[in-house]
């Protein structure tokens, strides 16, 4: 196809045109699009379908958009001439009005229309019409936010309070609109975005504990939150526009909430419930807010989460988003036999089926999550083929459209100001300590950055082996009696890398001798138990499915085993549950009164700790927990003691 080259607006646009190969050049329409579809971005670290060409993907996206627009995009409001809306069903009470759509759908429509500008010659008219409706149907609580129901009645305008998800998408779309068309026209998109972000969302939806509440009807100290509202890349764009570090604080806190939640309720799946409540976070009860029974599971709200999470890695490089998305991708591939047709519309947090059939609002985000690794290439290819022709209903189709835009590289990053080129400072005070014959623990002093450090890269002998977000890392699977050298680099949201830290070296200990578990079946005592079924004896019963658990929230909990006779102890193996000891001591005693330290750590990271040390004599062996790795207590599946 012959492509016309257009001179638009400025020499800057001319340069952009010349910088892109001619066969990939998009058309730009008279609205003066600066980023006309298709943009076909390649995100760092993200794969695309590789069994079809980019131009074929672009055609699939534009074809699906034509269907979506014809089916759901409407401008027939007699009460608001010129106002556009996205037609869709609602859950909840419409207060006697006939509902036509929601602020949620409105947000989808505004993001989609601005990203499709340059393909659709009428995109700016549509977008401005959607904005007109958003402002007419303002919330009575905060006029900078949109009421959650659209109805063809002037009485509905200013009647309904807000829903957080719709406003987040609307505010973000205004940032996109400024990047697409500029803000010198009838609508000052950038000014409107800033007003929504600061006077709307920050005022009404950001809580005092740095979560996002459910709407402007909710309280500022609320702990209830909807993970499908955790649009992390949106919040980073909010930060870029306003310079307000509140948005970085919210991002970091939401990642922490996700980590705490999954450690406690979905360690094997990475799934999260439709609604999250309380601190420490836990699933909301069933029928929360009268939505539907499965609000405590991964259902029709949470199904959107994988896209929202993976985009923070794709656009801003936060490896926490990559790790979460990749975990869900690995799980769903195993669950379905790598066949998208086998995805169900709902799961319990442990991965058990709740739903019965495959629908795009569940399938498409799982495909997006899998773009984090080339090991998922076949799944991404199969998912693309499944998604591109799937047509169902407003909710599923709209979210499918967003995923198609992302996977094809046509959801571009609205960068503001000068690019961040300042690298973080190098990590300092790196230390390496051998923890066993196969594990070395690292710790270092945090780096600083003008925008913010998002994580670290750990190198063993010059080869990257880990990407922690904190200032410690345990390198496992090593060879006994071997010296290993390490360096660490910091990385920021713009993927700037720091210089290397100092080099730290440690030598693993000798392999533990093969011997009998002296603690098996022996009398075991603990400082406390969480409740019936979590007694101390569960840690020495030889089963890795039963466990001892202490009461929650305190340090200096302990568990000891009576070996029945004195022995020379040189190895203790601990199989932690999610509630692990970050700091603990292994101690021995001859009388249960005077204890001698045999091994001490402050950098435990859970899992299996196989600790060897110089032999100590004693009849009693104790694990004294000094620092929690989570907000809960301590819990051991297995407490094994070896020696002679």
Q: Which residues are catalytic?
A: 165
CA–CA distance, 241 with 235 (Å, rounded to integer) = 10
Q: The tokens of 333 are what? A: 């591939």
User: Is 503 in a helix, a strand, or coil?
Assistant: coil
**Backbone angles phi and psi of 583, in degrees to 5:** -125, 135
User: Is 79 in a helix, a strand, or coil?
Assistant: coil
Q: The tokens of 201 are what? A: 């969302």
**CB–CB of 193/241 below 8 Å?**
yes
CA–CA distance, 364 with 380 (Å, rounded to integer) = 10
Q: Which residues of 58-84 are buried (b: 16+ CB within 10 A; e: fewer)?
A: bebbbebbeebbeebbbbebeebeebb
**What contacts 634, CB < 8 A, 6 or more positions away?**
549, 550, 557, 579, 580, 581, 625, 628
**Backbone angles phi and psi of 578, in degrees to 5:** -55, -30
CA–CA distance, 644 with 630 (Å, rounded to integer) = 34
Q: The tokens of 372 are what? A: 């984090």
**What contacts 186, CB < 8 A, 6 or more positions away?**
128
Q: How many CB atoms lie within 10 A of CB 24?
A: 13
CA–CA distance, 20 with 37 (Å, rounded to integer) = 13
**What contacts 312, CB < 8 A, 6 or more positions away?**
232, 233, 236, 251, 318, 320, 321
**CB–CB of 402/475 below 8 Å?**
no
In this structure, the dihedral spanned by the alpha carbons of residues 299, 301, 307 and 311, taken in order and rounded to 10 degrees, is: -140
Residue 270, Ramachandran bin (φ over 0: left; ψ between -120 and 50: alpha; else beta): left
Terminal CA-CA length for the chain: 79
**CB–CB of 424/496 below 8 Å?**
yes
User: Which residues share a beta bridge with 347?
Assistant: 298, 353
Q: The tokens of 144 are what? A: 């900078």
């Amino acid at each position: 196809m012959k492509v016309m080259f257009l001179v638009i607006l400025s020499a800057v646009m001319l340069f952009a045109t010349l910088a892109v190969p001619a066969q990939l050049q998009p058309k730009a329409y008279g609205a003066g699009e600066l980023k006309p579809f298709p943009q076909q971005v390649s995100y760092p670290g993200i794969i695309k379908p590789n069994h079809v060409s980019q131009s074929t993907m672009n055609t699939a996206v534009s074809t699906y958009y034509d269907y979506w627009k014809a089916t759901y995009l409407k401008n027939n409001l007699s009460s608001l001439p010129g106002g556009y809306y996205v037609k869709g069903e609602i859950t909840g009470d419409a207060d006697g009005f006939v509902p036509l759509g929601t602020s949620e759908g409105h947000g989808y429509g505004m993001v989609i229309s601005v990203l499709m500008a340059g393909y659709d010659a009428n995109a700016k008219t549509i977008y401005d019409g959607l904005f007109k409706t958003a402002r007419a149907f303002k919330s009575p609580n905060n006029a900078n936010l949109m009421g959650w129901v659209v109805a063809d009645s002037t009485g509905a305008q200013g009647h309904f309070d807000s829903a957080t998800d719709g406003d987040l998408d609307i505010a973000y779309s205004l940032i996109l609109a400024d990047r697409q068309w500029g803000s010198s026209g009838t609508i000052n998109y950038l000014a409107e975005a800033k007003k929504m972000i600061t006077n709307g969302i920050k005022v009404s939806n950001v809580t005092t504990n740095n979560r996002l509440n459910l709407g402007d009807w909710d309280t500022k100290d609320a702990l209830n939150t909807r993970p499908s509202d955790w649009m992390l890349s949106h919040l980073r764009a909010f930060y870029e526009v306003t310079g307000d570090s509140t948005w970085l604080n919210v991002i970091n806190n939401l990642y922490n909430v996700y980590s705490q939640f999954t450690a406690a309720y979905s360690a094997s799946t990475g799934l999260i419930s439709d609604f999250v409540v309380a601190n420490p976070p836990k699933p909301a009860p069933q029928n929360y807010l009268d939505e539907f029974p499965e609000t405590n599971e991964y259902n029709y709200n949470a199904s959107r989460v994988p896209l929202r999470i993976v985009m923070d890695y794709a656009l801003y490089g936060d490896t926490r988003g990559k790790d979460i998305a990749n975990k869900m991708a690995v799980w769903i591939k195993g669950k379905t036999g790598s066949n998208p047709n086998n995805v169900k519309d709902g799961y319990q947090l442990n991965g058990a089926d709740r739903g019965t059939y495959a629908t795009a609002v569940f399938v498409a985000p799982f495909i997006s999550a899998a773009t984090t690794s080339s090991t998922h290439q076949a799944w991404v290819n199969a998912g693309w083929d499944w998604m591109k022709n799937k047509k169902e209903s407003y909710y599923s189709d709209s979210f499918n459209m967003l995923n198609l835009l992302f996977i094809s590289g046509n959801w571009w990053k609205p960068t503001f100001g000068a690019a961040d080129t300042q690298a973080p400072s190098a990590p300092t005070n790196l230390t390496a300590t051998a923890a066993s014959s196969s594990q070395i623990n690292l710790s270092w002093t945090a780096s600083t950055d003008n925008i913010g450090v998002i994580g670290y890269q750990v190198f063993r002998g010059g080869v990257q082996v880990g990407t922690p977000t904190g200032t410690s890392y345990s390198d496992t699977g090593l060879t006994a009696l071997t010296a290993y050298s390490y360096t660490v680099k910091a990385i920021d949201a713009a993927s700037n890398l720091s210089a290397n830290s100092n080099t730290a070296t440690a030598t693993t200990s000798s392999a533990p001798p093969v011997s009998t578990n002296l603690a098996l079946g022996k009398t075991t005592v603990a400082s406390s138990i969480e409740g019936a079924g979590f007694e101390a004896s569960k840690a020495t019963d030889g089963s890795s499915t039963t466990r001892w658990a202490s009461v929650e929230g305190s340090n200096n909990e302990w568990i000891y085993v009576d070996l029945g006779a004195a022995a020379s102890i040189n190895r203790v193996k601990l199989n932690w549950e999610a509630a692990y000891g970050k700091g603990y001591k292994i101690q021995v005693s001859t009388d249960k009164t005077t204890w001698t330290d045999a091994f001490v750590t402050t950098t435990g990271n859970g899992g299996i700790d196989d600790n060897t040390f110089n032999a100590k004599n004693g009849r009693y062996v104790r694990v004294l927990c000094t620092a929690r790795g989570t907000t809960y207590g301590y819990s051991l599946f297995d407490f094994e003691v070896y020696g002679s």
